[in-house]
Structure 1
Amino acid sequence: MKNLTQTAAQNHILNSLGGDELERMLPDMELVTISKGEVLYNPDEKITHVYFPVKGMISVTSLTAEGQQVEIGTIGREGMAGLNVCMEADRTPHESMAQIAGAALKMKASALKDEFNKGGTVQKSLLRFMHAYLLLVSQTAVCNRLHPVDRRLARWLLMCRDRVQSNLLSVTQEFLAAMLGSNRPTVTGAALALKNEGFIKYTRGKVEILDANGLENYTCECYPIVKAEYDRLPKYIVNQICV
């Protein structure tokens, strides 16, 4: 149990909880590794567990009838996958998969819902994260519709960096194209533009950010809008302990 408590501290929501709340939740949790590409939720399947990432990143994608896929949101150590259960929904039309391999604390959805309905810090922290996540989803829709691919790629790379706290990202151009709702030649051109600016370098299956400040200046306004909201999360959540 002590090891789980230490692991829970790596997730911002769990780290915000008081001792009694976390102690009630830990018996229903287990630490699981998540492989790159592993699907956590299939569209329209019942959500039986939620995931609190402690490492890596989860991508939420929308699939069309023609088989096209586009990313609508990402979840890392700041949040929880499976938010639907807190909104009286037990399934989602979207797919959630591990975009970057890592680990998470897996918890029964029914147990999380029971704890959420008690109110307290669990509910406050999850509601605050929901707000930030919904902002991310809506801003992603704006970005995908209005902004050029090179700016969108810069935003996506910065978001990944923020979630995994690393400048080295294991992603392929095929994967990037799917996440951005584009095609490989277009994404290849966008990546080349960022490389020529000295912002990144890439080899097969890996992208390294060389100049994060340059990327931030290059990307569209969507990144700072979302980042500002997410930057407020840790401070807000920690403050809930004293409420």
Structure 2
Amino acid sequence: MALPLQSVLRNRLLTALDPEAFGRLAPALEPVPLPLHEVLIAPRQPITQAYFVEDGIVSLVADTREGRIEIGLTGREGFVGVPLALGTESTPHTAIVQAGGQALRIAADALHEALDVSAGLRRVLGRYVQSLIVQVGQTVYANADLTVEARLARWILMTHDRLEQDELPLTHEVLSKMLGVRRPTVTMATHALEGAGMIRARRGRITVIDRVKLEDLAGAIYGGAGV
């Protein structure tokens, strides 16, 4: 199998690595599809693979007594399998593909070996771990303090950042998990944003019409997708 060329990759972590650090990972990286709704990491099960997302979105989902709620998103700015970089082998959360795409997969053992010897890799992955912690913390704050409409605007912006296209594959089922609310509440919030000229909603799709208005509604808690 040919080694991936760092210069043509889209994952921001892999492109941020110095040549030595990338060279340690490259032989173990395997291109794989990310089919919609595929579970990449199951809760409380050994994590055997990590995924550097090239295209698409993976949701980090918490299971509660009220149902599933999304607590984080990963696109090409990051990787799926953060517990491995923290020295743990499992997580209580589910990582599931929300928007299909592609990734570079690496076995857990190979990632551990590279982390053991590469300070550059530890530094880059550590920056992403920090950004994900901030994202999850902002989600907790948003769920406690923002209106449903503002929370919806924030998730739409986060999806927009990662897919880099105006038409987003967001169904009411996905939105209800994002917001932790029932579908009728999603419908009302979607209608509110559409009525304000921020989005256009069609079956299974939301099109961003006015990003500036969405940012104003979401406020400072939104944050970007940087690493």
What's the TM-score once normalised by structure 2's chain length? Answer: 0.95
Structure 2 residue ranges without an equivalent (≥5): none
Structure 2 partner of 1:159? 158
Query: Per-residue CA shift, 1:137-174, capped at 9, x if unaligned?
Result: 01101111111110000000000011111111112112
User: How do 1:216-235 residues align onto structure 2 when only pairs under 5 Å count?
Assistant: 216-223=215-222, 226-227=223-224, 230-231=225-226, 233=227
How far did 1:67 drift? 6.1
Of 160-169 and 112-121, deviating more is 112-121
Query: Per-residue CA shift, 1:97-144, capped at 9, x if unaligned?
Result: 011111100001111111112232211101111111100001101111
> In the alignment, is the contact (CA less than 8 A) between 1:147 and 1:220 conserved in 2?
no
How far did 1:54 drift? 0.5
How far did 1:6 drift? 4.9
Structure 2 partner of 1:14? 14
Distance 1:171 1:7, change over 3 A: farther
> What is the identity, as a one-letter code, of the residue corresponding to 1:15?
T
Structure 2 partner of 1:241? none
Q: Distance in 2 between matches of 1:86 and 1:201?
A: 39
Q: 1:189 is paired with a residue of what secondary structure?
A: helix
Q: Which is richer in helix?
A: 1
How far did 1:24 drift? 2.2
Structure 1 stretches of 4+ moved >4 Å:
none
Distance 1:3 1:192, change over 3 A: farther
Q: 1:219 is paired with a residue of what secondary structure?
A: helix
Query: Per-residue CA shift, 1:180-202, capped at 9, x if unaligned?
Result: 10110111000000000111001
> What is the identity, as a one-letter code, of the residue corresponding to 1:148?
T
> What is the identity, as a one-letter code, of the residue corresponding to 1:123?
R
Q: Distance in 2 between matches of 1:27 and 1:119?
A: 15
Q: Distance in 1 between matches of 2:103 and 2:7?
A: 9
How far did 1:217 drift? 1.2
> In the alignment, is the contact (CA less than 8 A) between 1:60 and 1:96 conserved in 2?
yes
User: How do 1:1-243 residues align onto structure 2 when only pairs under 5 Å count?
Assistant: 4-6=4-6, 9-64=9-64, 66=65, 68-223=67-222, 226-227=223-224, 230-231=225-226, 233=227
How far did 1:19 drift? 2.2
How far did 1:2 drift? 5.9
Q: Distance in 2 between matches of 1:63 and 1:207?
A: 25
> In the alignment, is the contact (CA less than 8 A) between 1:158 and 1:215 conserved in 2?
yes
Of 107-116 and 13-22, deviating more is 13-22
Q: Distance in 1 between matches of 2:39 and 2:112?
A: 22
> What is the identity, as a one-letter code, of the residue corresponding to 1:4?
P
Q: Percent identity?
A: 34
Q: Distance in 2 between matches of 1:91 and 1:8?
A: 31
Distance 1:40 1:203, change over 3 A: same
> In the alignment, is the contact (CA less than 8 A) between 2:58 and 2:96 conserved in 1?
yes
> In the alignment, is the contact (CA less than 8 A) between 1:53 and 1:77 conserved in 2?
yes
Query: Per-residue CA shift, 1:201-233, capped at 9, x if unaligned?
Result: 01110100011111111223310xx32xx44x3
> What is the identity, as a one-letter code, of the residue corresponding to 1:132?
S
Q: Distance in 2 between matches of 1:57 and 1:7?
A: 22
How far did 1:49 drift? 0.5
Q: Distance in 2 between matches of 1:202 and 1:117?
A: 47
Q: Distance in 2 between matches of 1:119 and 1:23?
A: 10
